[in-house]
Amino acid sequence: MSVLKSREALLALAILVAIGIIAMRFPAFVAPGNLANVFNDTAPLMLLAIGQMIVILTKCIDLSVAANLALTGMVAALMNGAGMPLPLILCAVILLGAALGAVNGVLVWKLGIPSIVVTLGTMTIYRGTIFLMTAGKWVNAHEMTDGFKALPRLVILGLPVMSWIAIAAVLIFAVVLTRTALGRAFYAVGGNAHAAVYAGIDVGRTQFWAFVMSGALAGFTGYLWVARYAVAYVDVAGGFELDVVAACVIGGIAIAGGAGSIWGAMLGALFLGVIKNALPVVGISPFWQMAISGTAIILAVAFNAAQSRPKGRLILREAAQ
Amino acid sequence: MEPVLRLRGISKSFPGVKALSGVQLDLYPGQVTALIGENGAGKSTIVKVLTGIYQPEEGTIRIDGREIRLDGADAAAQAGVTAIHQETVLFDELSVAENIWLGHAPRTRWGLIDRQAMRAGAARLLAGIGAKLDPDQRLGDLGIASRHMVAIARALSVEARVVILDEPTAALSHKEIHELYDLIETLKAQGKAILFISHKFDEIFRIADRYTVFRDGQFVGEGQMADVTEGQLVQLMVGRSVDQIFPMRDHNIGSPVLTVSGYCHPTEFTDIGFTLHRGEILGFYGLVGAGRSEVMQALFGITAPSKGACRIDDQVRVIRSTSEAIAAGIVYVPEDRGRQGAVKGLPIFQNVTLPSLGAVSRAGFLRLAEELSLARDYTQRLDLRAAALDQDVGLLSGGNQQKVVIAKWLATKPRVIILDEPTKGIDIGSKAAVHAFMAELAAQGLAIIMVSSEIPEVLGMSDRVIVMREGRIVDEVAGDRMTPEVLVRAAAGLAVAA
């Protein structure tokens, strides 16, 4: 537990150091308003990383989150175009996202197909569905109502609603993960599936719920994304699923399942957000951004591997065989 | 005749356990020597010594009178010792020929694998053992008997002089077993020295020329099969005295708790029925593979029985999942506690409360204080040594992890607790502690099923013993009939001694 905590503290420190270095050359970067912008920009990544983290905890992976986001975002835009009220749209995107996640979950649970294969397939299907619905047409800003576009940008207590939603999601899922039986089951299933079965936990059903949560978060983020950028099309958030997985890995979520905290996922997303926003300011080409996040991923994994290696016990275990 | 292989004074110990102490073994060319002994007698250990996996601390190994050291699997292969294991490791996606030659394939002049020589060699080896298999066939497409043939061909591909067959017939059908007997005759005719390990007396008498008996890691006798009877072999295997001390118990057998009737499974067991009472310890004895663990897994909802009924306190309960079993008051402490017991990475208290999350929740939310107090109660009762309850369970020693696992089950306040090989692989001191604890639980009125392969433990702890063989209950033993001979005979399918 203390190891986990120090891991997150270290990541927070890394983010602060990065911000500090940038501030030495560009003091404007650390102006409260700018930091709030960086946080707000990172909110979608954070929301998806929460869902992804839950899925990864159960030893699965969800590659369909960005496609889910694009599909629900498009549905939200079309519903808005058809004149439906915003509260209905919000309910619809969450339910649709959850349903898309449930498709993944059922395939993993009932057919026992590896999640990487299932979500690779549904990722393509969901994107393809957008094309079928729209024949590739865009929904542009002028086709959206002002109310639809305004909600994510509405500023409350100095922060846009989108940021508040990300903060609320972190807090809600922190409670779900640490204070409910289902949350505990996510950890147990990924940590030792056999032991979980013997403790009366249904492994498949637990994974199913992880996918449903990931899908619901992706669906809600779909509306936020489309409303904020005021555009919906087939390739919205193309390749974003990899950023999401990267945020989790940087945040110390064990890809083998069973270990990691929501704070890690949040900090992993923030780290990528700071890098992404700072590089243009510092005048470094966006291509470097990929190299830097790639390096961060490998460093994070190497660090985690070094942390979890048992010290001096392997020899004993061998002798005990 | 001179033995090909001669072992003298071989000893091997592990922390807390002396697996072999000063054993001897002789294998003669063209003869089958049966190695006989109870589970835990040291048969598997001697096989590992012979194949270079374990190095003994004492003793000599001679091949053709020359002393050698087998300090690795390579050395054993070079010396011409080869083993066919209970579960032979083969590769489904490779061809028959590739499986036979993996690791020592013939090479061309350029150092590449000589596929032609490999195929020809495989065909020759397969023909030599009378197997009609295509060397190019994918191994995964073969049946279990054919895979066995491939394993044997692989064993012979290293110019073996000594062939070890470790329970070779366990997974074979009647017809396949007879093919294996023919094969053994072929190997004998080729002058190989064969070590044959089996629990089945009928096949030992059928194919072995000589026998060697181990008991508790010690050599107790050898001779010609022609000079010995079944009864004498059983006597040698079980010995006379049970010198371990078991706790004194009051045998306060109460009302029936669990009644199982007509439990069947398509492949693992047939027509299992028994009654378990409050305060009772019911032993399940049988050879490895008799279906005992499978019955327990069905009772616990891990596998589904195809037929049969289970009553708890006279109420019929259908158990389709482990959570239903736990709700019905049945818990199962599995044999493989490392894999099926603790969730490493979770703290101790969360491991303890894992099956009891409902009991420590209020309105759907877990209460940390209640979790900790539940975990504290039960880990204290088991005298767990840990720095703190929020410590990662993976950092505890094996014995302490086991205590966490048992605490986890007791915390569900079960009516029936099933212990599968509760003392397997732990040292004598811990064994005594586990036995004392079992006696205490029974005294508190808990009904206990103990699956065990150790005769002293079964006899020392149980009120009654059910003996299983090949998926069926073959005997129920209580009172004066609780003797090693009765158990061994029932488990091996022998007639009851006159």
For Cα atoms B235, B241, B245, give the angle at the middle one, nearest 5 degrees.
145
Could you give the CA distance from residue A119 to residue A110 in angstroms, rounded to a whole number? Answer: 15
B contact residues 312-371, partner A, Cβ 8 Å cutoff: 321-323, 325-327, 332, 334, 336, 339-347, 350, 354-355, 357-358, 361, 364-366, 368
Q: What is the pLDDT of residue B241?
A: 46
Q: Is the pLDDT of residue A131 over 60?
A: yes
What HEC string does B23-79 produce?
EEEEECCCCEEEEECCCCCCHHHHHHHHCCCCCCCEEEEEECCEEECCCCHHHHHHH
Q: Which residues of A touch B357 (CB under 8 A)?
A: 181, 184-185
Min CA distance, B342 vs chain A (Å)? 6
The amino acid present at B463, given as its one-letter code, is D
Q: Which residues of B touch A258 (CB under 8 A)?
A: 343, 345-346
Helical residues (DSSP H) of chain A, grouped into ranges = 2-25, 32-57, 65-81, 86-110, 115-134, 146-150, 161-179, 181-191, 193-198, 203-229, 240-250, 262-282, 286-308, 314-320
Of A1, A200, A254, the CB nearest to B323: A200
Q: Is the pLDDT of residue B322 over 50?
A: yes
Q: What is the pLDDT of residue B53?
A: 86
Could you give the CA distance from residue B457 to residue B122 in angstroms, rounded to a whole number? Answer: 47
Chain A interface includes B12 (CB < 8 A): no
Residue A316: pLDDT band (50, 70, 90) is very low
Q: What is the pLDDT of residue A10?
A: 85
User: Residues, chain B, total?
Assistant: 498
**With left for phi above 0 and alpha for psi between -120 and 50, is residue B176 left, alpha or beta?**
alpha
Q: What is the pLDDT of residues B235-265, one digit of tens each?
A: 888 775 445 667 777 777 889 999 998 889 8
Averaged pLDDT score across all residues of chain A? 89
Q: Tell me the percentage of chain B whose pLDDT exceeds 90.
A: 26
Q: What is the pLDDT of residue A231?
A: 93
Average pLDDT (A265-277) is 91
In-domain check, residue A315: no
- Asked if the Cβ–Cβ distance from B357 to A181 is below 8 Å, we say yes
Chain B interface includes A201 (CB < 8 A): yes
Q: What is the pLDDT of residues A29-78, one digit of tens each?
A: 888 888 999 999 999 999 999 999 999 999 999 999 999 999 999 999 99
Containing H/E element for B374?
helix B368-381
Residue A224: pLDDT band (50, 70, 90) is very high
Count: domains in chain A: 1
Could you give the CA distance from residue B128 to residue B425 in angstroms, rounded to a whole number? Answer: 41
Chain B interface includes A197 (CB < 8 A): yes
Span between the terminal Cα atoms of chain A, in Å: 29
Residue A215: pLDDT band (50, 70, 90) is very high
Q: What is the pLDDT of residue B308?
A: 87
Q: Which of A217, A218, A229, A169 is nearest to A71 (CA)?
A: A218
Q: What is the largest CA-CA distance in chain B?
A: 80
Contact (CB, 8 A) for B191 and B162: no
In-domain check, residue A25: no
Between A130-144, B141-155, B423-437, the lowest mean confidence (pLDDT) is in B423-437
Average pLDDT (B193-222) is 89
Q: What is the pLDDT of residues B135-147, one digit of tens each?
A: 999 988 887 778 8
Q: Which domain holds residue A99?
A: 2-19+40-305
Q: What is the pLDDT of residues B375-410, one digit of tens each?
A: 998 888 877 777 788 888 877 776 778 788 888 888
Q: What is the pLDDT of residue B16?
A: 62
Q: Which residue in this structure is represented by tokens 């036995």?
A: B435
Could you give the CA distance from residue B108 to residue A136 in angstroms, rounded to a whole number? Answer: 59
For A96, list phi and psi in degrees, rounded to 5. -65, -45
Q: Is the pLDDT of residue B497 over 60?
A: no
Q: What is the pLDDT of residue B89?
A: 66
Q: What is the pLDDT of residue A225?
A: 96
Distance (Å) of CA B174 to CA A166, B145, B149, B177? 66, 11, 16, 5
In-domain check, residue A217: yes
Nearest CA in chain A to B405: A195
Chain B interface includes A184 (CB < 8 A): yes
Q: Is the pLDDT of residue A86 over 60?
A: yes
Best probe of the B interface among A198, A206, A253, A261, by most B CBs < 10 A, is A198
CATH number, domain with residue A219: 1.10.3470
In-domain check, residue A30: no
Q: Is the pLDDT of residue B170 over 80?
A: no
Min CA distance, A179 vs chain B (Å)? 5
Q: Is the ipTM of this complex over 0.85?
A: no
Could you give the CA distance from residue A191 to residue B342 in angstroms, rounded to a whole number? Answer: 9
Residue A307: pLDDT band (50, 70, 90) is low
Q: What is the pLDDT of residues B345-362, one digit of tens each?
A: 889 999 999 988 888 888
Most confident stretch, A226-240, B65-79, B96-110, B452-466: A226-240
Radius of gyration of chain A (CA): 20
Chain B interface includes A315 (CB < 8 A): no
In-domain check, residue A45: yes
Between B69-83, B132-146, B421-435, B440-454, the lowest mean confidence (pLDDT) is in B421-435
In-domain check, residue A227: yes
> What token pair was written down for B193?
């020295």
Contact (CB, 8 A) for A218 and A97: yes
Could you give the CA distance from residue B150 to residue A276 in angstroms, rounded to a whole number? Answer: 58
Q: What is the pLDDT of residue B76?
A: 86
Averaged pLDDT score across all residues of chain B? 85
Q: Is the pLDDT of residue A290 over 80?
A: no
The amino acid present at A120, given as its one-letter code, is L
Q: Which residues of A touch B300 (CB under 8 A)?
A: 198
Residues with Cβ < 8 Å from B212, sequence gap 6 or more? B24, B25, B26, B33, B34, B35, B36, B219, B221, B222
> Helices A203-229 and A181-191 sit at what angle, rounded to 10 degrees?
110
Q: Is the pLDDT of residue A1 over 50?
A: no
In-domain check, residue A318: no
Q: What is the pLDDT of residue B8?
A: 94
Min CA distance, B426 vs chain A (Å)? 10
Average pLDDT (B18-44) is 88
Q: Is the pLDDT of residue A148 over 50?
A: yes
What is the dihedral sign for C-alpha B346, B348, B349, B351?
positive
Between A176-180, A229-233, B85-89, B224-228, the lowest mean confidence (pLDDT) is in B85-89
Contact (CB, 8 A) for A257 and A59: yes
For B257, list phi and psi in degrees, rounded to 5. -110, -50
Q: What is the pLDDT of residue B394?
A: 79
In-domain check, residue A146: yes
Please tell me whether the overall predicted TM-score, pTM, comes out greater than 0.90 for this model.
no
Contact (CB, 8 A) for A102 and A211: yes
Q: Is the pLDDT of residue B333 over 70?
A: yes
Query: What one-character-per-residue DSSP string does A267-289 give?
Result: HHHHHHHHHHHHHHHHT--HHHH
Min CA distance, A70 vs chain B (Å)? 33
Q: What is the pLDDT of residue B86?
A: 56
Min CA distance, A270 vs chain B (Å)? 25
Nearest CA in chain B to A175: B365
Instruction: Return the SS3 of B176.
Output: helix
What is the dihedral sign for C-alpha A197, B348, B16, B455?
negative
Residue B108: pLDDT band (50, 70, 90) is confident
Average pLDDT (B437-465) is 89
Q: Is the pLDDT of residue A315 over 60?
A: no
Best probe of the A interface among B55, B335, B357, B418, by most A CBs < 10 A, is B357
Residue A312: pLDDT band (50, 70, 90) is very low
Average pLDDT (B19-48) is 89
